[in-house]
A = this chain, B = another copy of it.
Amino acid sequence: MSKVKVFLEEKDIPRAWYNIQADMPNLPKPAMHPATKKPVVPEDLVPIFPRGLIDQEMTRDRWVEIPDEVREIYKLWRPSPLIRARRLEQALDTPAKIYFKHEGVSPAGSHKLNTAVPQVYYNKVAGTKRLTTETGAGQWGIALSQACSFFDLACIVYMVKISYQQKPYRRTMMEVFGARMYASPSENTNTGRQILQENPDNMGSLGMAISEAVEDAVGRDDTHYALGSVLNHVLLHQTIIGLEAKKQLELVDEYPDLVIACCGGGSNFGGIAFPFAYDKIKEGAPVRLIAVEPSACPTLTRGHHGYDYGDVAGYTPLLWMYSLGKDFMPPGIHAGGLRYHGASPLVSQLIKDGIAEAQSYGQSAVFDSGVLFARCEGIIPAPESSHAIHSAVVEALAAREAGEAKTILFNLSGHGLLDLPSYESYLHKGLVDSPISEEGLKKAMANLPQI
């Protein structure tokens, strides 16, 4: 009998993160200050981020050393297993080999902890006492509250009000780790109070929660803000996924023909794909890098490549990225983590330059594949991760059609144990693929900043 899981030992946890800025044929244009519309300089970020992270945001060095204190925490769950989905292969009757990197084994339940730990660490070193953040579905908030508990920092989470009410399990999990939770919009910030004055029943949005978290951080000397995706330093930290996966595939003498991950802000896609993008850029490796998004929020497949704000209020720098326009309101799908109007500038540039590609799928097909995967492999996937699973299934069936023994690697960015109500909807209520509002999209794209 052959191996199902490919484990590495703790000593094999990478000692450095990989920075793709060192190797991209074209770098994204620089982030612009929202007020001055001039390129952001490190000093602009000092009220928000600690120096260690600002340096990582800007650096062009290929390798960035992982501090020992971070590697020590990584040992709680890393190296994460690489698993051969043999039972899924059999169910699909495909000659393709399907491997997945299981990031759901982290105590936070997702890949988000890979960046939460170093972000809190560099803040700790800088003397930060409190960290603020926003969370939608809750994966990022859980990761940051865990990391803050490990390093004994206070964690303040602005959770989008509708999620605060609908996802009590995730909210409670953050509280177990000691986080102070606010339903956003809240009475705790000017932004929140103003929104509530206009409409006391406002159920919030990620954009509003970001604005509240940033305001809370900027207003206090002991406080910084943390972001769970999009930015360069976040994707840098996530490259540990792809670096480990490469080593693990080498152990079983494999190299992927396809590397697949879902893409919201882009951190889990960048995390697994960048180390393989290196091979493609530098050595011409014929690997396809596929970012999978929901057709309900088709940033990479239908968005515009140019400058846009990261939040609704326009407090964040303007980023050079694919965007549907910050005012675009996607229909309510279960993969809340993929409902973001923009995408990481680094990922966007790779797509623009044809080094990576994008696919979009509707959620009912995505859930079909997610449930098939669960029944084969035993793991309930997060609805976000099921987008990657579905693409892997589609590609494995295409390999069967073509009679090609492709090797597929996808990232299982998180488990779906706290998303079981979405599965209940799928099983009992029928999932619909709500079409996006074409008029809304047109309007949001017309509002893109002109600079």
**A residues lining the B interface (CB < 8 Å):** 1, 3-5, 7, 9-10, 68, 71-72, 75-77, 83, 87, 105-109, 113, 146, 149-150, 168-169, 172-173, 175-178, 371, 374-375, 377-380, 417-418, 420-421, 423-424, 427
Given A3-B10, A169-B417, A378-B107, A371 and B176 contact (CB-CB distance below 8 Å): yes
A159 → chain B, closest Cβ, in Å? Answer: 14
Interchain CB contact under 8 A, A75 and B4: yes
Residues of B within 8 A of A173 (CB): 380, 417, 420, 423
Interchain CB contact under 8 A, A427 and B175: yes
Residues of B within 8 A of A418 (CB): 169, 417, 420
A232 → chain B, closest Cβ, in Å? Answer: 26
Residues of B within 8 A of A420 (CB): 168-169, 172-173, 176, 418
A268 → chain B, closest Cβ, in Å? Answer: 19
A183 → chain B, closest Cβ, in Å? Answer: 14
Interchain CB contact under 8 A, B424 and A168: yes
The 5 nearest A-B residue pairs measured at CB: A107-B378, A4-B75, A169-B420, A172-B424, A172-B420
A40 → chain B, closest Cβ, in Å? Answer: 34
The closest CB in chain B to the CB of A175 belongs to: B427
Bound-state CA distance A204–B176 (Å) is 31
A426 → chain B, closest Cβ, in Å? Answer: 9
Interchain CB contact under 8 A, A76 and B3: no
The closest CB in chain B to the CB of A74 belongs to: B4
The closest CB in chain B to the CB of A415 belongs to: B417
- The prevalent SS among residues of A at the interface is helix
Residues of B within 8 A of A4 (CB): 10, 72, 75-76
Residues of B within 8 A of A1 (CB): 68, 71-72, 75
A421 → chain B, closest Cβ, in Å? Answer: 7
Interchain CB contact under 8 A, A427 and B176: yes
Residues of B within 8 A of A427 (CB): 172, 175-176
13 CB contacts below 8 A, A to B, read A1-B72, A3-B10, A5-B75, A76-B378, A113-B378, A150-B378, A172-B420, A172-B421, A172-B423, A177-B374, A417-B417, A417-B418, A418-B420
A170 → chain B, closest Cβ, in Å? Answer: 8
Q: Beyond A172-B427, A175-B423, A177-B374, list 17 extra A-B contacts (CB 8 Å).
A: A1-B72, A3-B10, A4-B10, A7-B7, A76-B83, A87-B150, A107-B378, A107-B379, A109-B417, A168-B420, A168-B424, A173-B380, A173-B417, A173-B420, A176-B420, A176-B427, A178-B375
The closest CB in chain B to the CB of A76 belongs to: B378
Bound-state CA distance A108–B379 (Å) is 8
Residues of B within 8 A of A87 (CB): 150
Residues of B within 8 A of A77 (CB): 378
Bound-state CA distance A106–B371 (Å) is 17
Residues of B within 8 A of A75 (CB): 1, 3-5
Residues of B within 8 A of A105 (CB): 105
Bound-state CA distance A146–B417 (Å) is 14
The closest CB in chain B to the CB of A371 belongs to: B176
Bound-state CA distance A267–B72 (Å) is 34
A186 → chain B, closest Cβ, in Å? Answer: 18
A385 → chain B, closest Cβ, in Å? Answer: 14
Interchain CB contact under 8 A, B423 and A176: yes
Residues of B within 8 A of A421 (CB): 168-169, 172
The closest CB in chain B to the CB of A374 belongs to: B176
Most interface-central of A1, A107, A418, A420 (chain B CB within 10 A): A420
